[in-house]
């Protein structure tokens, strides 16, 4: 059985972290073997969404109990939903807390239960507010680049002639689809921008083959984020995956447009 103890450092002499979500490390100990590992807590970086990653980390490490100073109600709810016990109000060194836990001296913190009349409310207020905030943040983070793209399209519509853009494409289906896939691979950002750009390119007479390849590779191939993918998943995986996705985008774009033309004819 594994347990996670929030910690200020990487060994058993370190102090127990005050808050589960933002402590610098989690010491994950296997009670069976006595082995432990110190994992950097993603939540300690204080960025949006990293608190959730702390919970996910605990779940993915197959931890059965979390020992910490304080655990927020939201984190507690997620952990308990996934069968993880929570022990709070702890202080001292990680080693001391671990020994107390082994001896059964630490009592589980009871969850503050929310009384709810049957059938009255499916989603409680706190969860709804949290989801609203999260959606608001996600929506807001999408807007700056999106507005930039909309403004840029206004410029293109006004200053760039239809003939100029059409001249960039040869009229050859495979070559134009390849070009669309290429532009989609080097551009990055929220997929909504690819829809807006693609939709406007259609107005300019650019083929649906090109636009479809651009939309596909916009999300599936990422030259900009390739270094991050290599760092996370390895060079071979990242290069192979991006290469296959790029090559596959061309037949998929051609097949998509072919079927659409068949259906809508």
Name residues contacting another protein, limited to 62-81 (CB under 8 A): 62, 78, 81
- Does 40 bind another protein (CB under 8 A)? Our answer is yes
- Does 240 bind another protein (CB under 8 A)? Our answer is yes
Please give the Cα distance from 235 to 68 (Å, whole number).
Answer: 37
Within 10 angstroms of residue 184's Cβ, the number of other Cβ atoms is: 29
Number of residues that bind another protein (CB under 8 A): 84
Q: Which is nearer to another protein, 68 or 217 (CB)?
A: 217
**C-alpha dist (Å) from residue 51 to 48, 55, 165:** 7, 7, 46
Q: Is 112 left (phi over 0), alpha (psi -120 to 50) or beta?
A: beta
- Does 265 bind another protein (CB under 8 A)? Our answer is no
- Does 38 bind another protein (CB under 8 A)? Our answer is yes
- Does 228 bind another protein (CB under 8 A)? Our answer is yes
Minimum distance from CB of 101 to another protein (Å)?
Answer: 18
Minimum distance from CB of 107 to another protein (Å)?
Answer: 25
- Does 144 bind another protein (CB under 8 A)? Our answer is yes
Which residues in 134-155 are b (16+ Cβ under 10 Å) and which e? eeeeeeeeeeeebeebeeebee
**Stretch of residues binding another protein (CB under 8 A), selected from 63-71, 85-93, 106-114, 142-150:** 142-150
Minimum distance from CB of 96 to another protein (Å)?
Answer: 17
- Does 114 bind another protein (CB under 8 A)? Our answer is no
């Amino acid at each position: 059985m594994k347990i996670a103890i929030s910690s200020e450092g990487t060994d058993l002499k370190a102090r127990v972290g005050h808050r589960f979500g933002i402590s610098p490390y989690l010491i994950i100990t296997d009670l069976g073997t006595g082995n432990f590992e110190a994992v950097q807590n993603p939540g300690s970086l204080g960025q949006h969404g990293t608190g959730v990653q702390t919970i996910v980390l605990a779940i993915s490490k197959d931890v059965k109990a979390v020992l910490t100073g304080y655990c927020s109600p939201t984190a507690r709810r997620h952990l308990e939903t996934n069968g993880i016990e929570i022990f709070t109000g702890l202080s001292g060194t990680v080693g001391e807390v671990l020994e107390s836990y082994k001896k059964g001296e630490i009592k589980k913190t009871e969850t503050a239960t929310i009384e709810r009349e049957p059938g009255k409310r499916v989603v409680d207020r706190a969860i709804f507010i949290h989801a609203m905030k999260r959606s608001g943040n996600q929506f807001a983070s999408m807007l700056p680049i999106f507005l930039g793209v909309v403004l840029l399209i206004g410029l293109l519509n006004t200053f760039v002639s239809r003939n100029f853009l059409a001249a960039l494409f040869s009229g050859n289906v495979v070559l134009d689809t390849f070009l669309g896939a290429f532009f989609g691979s080097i551009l990055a950002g929220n997929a909504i921008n690819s829809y807006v750009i693609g939709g406007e390119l259609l107005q300019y007479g650019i083929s649906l083959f090109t636009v479809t390849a651009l939309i596909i590779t916009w999300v599936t191939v990422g030259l900009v984020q390739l270094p991050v993918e290599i760092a996370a998943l390895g060079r071979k995986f990242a290069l192979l995956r991006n290469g296959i996705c790029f090559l596959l985008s061309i037949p998929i774009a051609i097949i998509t447009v072919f079927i659409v033309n068949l259906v809508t004819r």
